Amino acid sequence: MTATTEINNIISEENLVYKKTSVLLDNEMHYCPGCTHGVIHKVIAEVIEEMDIQDKTIGVSPVGCSVLAYNYLDIDWQQAAHGRAPALATATARLMPDKYVFTYQGDGDLASIGCAEIIHACNRGENIVVVFVNNAIYGMTGGQMAPTTLDGQVTATSPYGRDCGSTGAPMKISEMVSLLPGTRFVTRQSAETAGAVRKLKKAIRKGFENTREKKGLSFIEIVGTCSSGWKLSPTQSNEWMKENMFPYYPLGTLKDE
């Protein structure tokens, strides 16, 4: 019996424990090795399939590395100007209250240029899910300093390390939005281990369930890696994230009402 025949015998319906969700398209991803976006995309796609809401979900993609998120999830998408995704999502959710609307934003997009839009969408309690990927750097433009860049972190625009005395301290957006009455669920997750991915999936599912129950805004921050921007290998990136990011951006749920 050849190895191929042996494998083909194993591939059968009764042995199936995992399969790629059909909501995730087969387009080759442009993300770098070790990037967290791919895992987060997969988790969102799985939740959409499991909740059977593919025909009712509208994603709003940002400007940044995930600008092309619409190439990977088989749902309707709007591509927003830099930072404006919560404004698009606001109108979309209000004009079509029976739909599931989420924004997908990075730290430059949400925490810097889009700070006004996210704060006010949170404050109004728009019935949307916000997926906020915080990897403490601008990825697409080549690794510049973000509002969430850590104290002393070297980036293309903080080549001697971030000087918080001059640039301000890294912004804890989840803590900020959790203070606003309009947010109902605020959580900070990660995706570096199988266990973390399972927790993340539960959080994203809860977000979409909140939309179904018209509970208001669910804010899901994911602390992620940027191997290219951090100039570390994928494995080193995960270690650096655990050592430096997690103490400043502690994982866990800040608010669940």
Q: Is 63 helix (H, G, I), strand (E, B) or coil?
A: coil
Exactly one of 80, 110, 171, 220 binds another protein (CB under 8 A); that residue is 80
Exactly one of 39, 88, 217, 226 binds another protein (CB under 8 A); that residue is 88
Q: Which residue stretch of 2-10, 91-99, 151-159, 167-175 sits at the interface with another protein (rule: CB under 8 A)? A: 91-99
Nearest to 51 by CA among 166, 214, 247, 208: 208
Under rule CB under 8 A, residue 77 binds another protein: yes
User: Parallel, antiparallel, or unpaired: how do β-strands 183-190 and 252-256 relate?
Assistant: antiparallel
Least Å from the CB of residue 237 to another protein: 26
Under rule CB under 8 A, residue 58 binds another protein: yes
| R_g of the chain, CA atoms, integer Å | 19
Under rule CB under 8 A, residue 141 binds another protein: no
Under rule CB under 8 A, residue 55 binds another protein: yes
Under rule CB under 8 A, residue 84 binds another protein: yes
Count of residues that bind another protein according to CB under 8 A: 31
Task: At 110, list the tokens.
Answer: 């949400």
Under rule CB under 8 A, residue 95 binds another protein: yes
Under rule CB under 8 A, residue 99 binds another protein: yes
Exactly one of 21, 54, 157, 253 binds another protein (CB under 8 A); that residue is 54
Under rule CB under 8 A, residue 78 binds another protein: yes
Exactly one of 39, 87, 131, 204 binds another protein (CB under 8 A); that residue is 87
Task: DSSP letter for 74, please.
Answer: S
Q: Is 28 helix (H, G, I), strand (E, B) or coil?
A: coil
Neighbours of 98 (CB within 10 A): 8
Strand partners, 144: 138
Least Å from the CB of residue 88 to another protein: 3
Nearest to 174 by CA among 147, 138, 210, 201: 147
User: Parallel, antiparallel, or unpaired: how do β-strands 217-223 and 100-106 relate?
Assistant: unpaired
Using the minimum distance from each CB to another protein, give the nearer residue, 114 or 170: 114
Cα gap 126→96, rounded to integer Å: 12
Under rule CB under 8 A, residue 56 binds another protein: yes
Nearest to 186 by CA among 132, 113, 116, 115: 132
Task: At 143, list the tokens.
Answer: 């690794």
Exactly one of 8, 27, 50, 94 binds another protein (CB under 8 A); that residue is 94
Catalog residues that contact another protein under the rule CB under 8 A: 54-58, 60, 67-68, 70, 74-81, 84, 87-92, 94-96, 99, 116-117, 120
